[in-house]
Copies of this chain bind each other. A is one copy, B any other.
Amino acid sequence: MNNAHDSEILRGLHAAIIDLVDEINRPRRDDRLIEEAGIPLDRALFPLLARVWRYGPIGVVELADRTGRDHTTISRQMTKLEELGLIERKPSMTDRRVREATVTEKGQEMVDLLNAARERLANRILVDWTDEDLDQLRALLRRFADDLMR
């Protein structure tokens, strides 16, 4: 328990985070992944599909909170995903105001293809890593993200 951490470390950590986030935000990365997966999917929609898969069943407002955008934006994108048959929405049984979204079978197939493609790309990029280092990064990053979201 520290009141003040080493500024050097904090700045270095921040720099690494910015580099990582910029890299992940790159539209070209998504294009590459979609190409590797070999599926036809609008790259604007696929991050949302991934999040419905991960956090679903989930409503519009909660998902909007999570991604930091207005709920109306998410509402429209979810409508598109629904029209494409990738997600499914039905009123929640416990709260009929929320229309819970889940991935359909067709959506699940796409998610599977995307996950497999991402794993192939990751293995190509991370050839020099040991499983031990990766797992350490995973654990530390999980803790960090949780603290950030708290």
Contact = CB atoms under 8 A, between A and B. Distances in A.
Interface SS, A side: helix
A26 B68 CA distance: 5
Contacts of A146: 19
Contacts of A19: 142, 145-146, 149
Contact of A23 (B5, B15, B127, B149): B149
Chain A interface size, under 10 / 10 to 19 / 20 to 34 / 35 or more: 35 or more
Interface stretch (A34-42, A75-83, A84-92, A128-136): A128-136
Interface of A: 1-7, 9-29, 50-51, 54, 66-69, 115, 118-119, 122-123, 125-131, 133-138, 140-142, 144-150
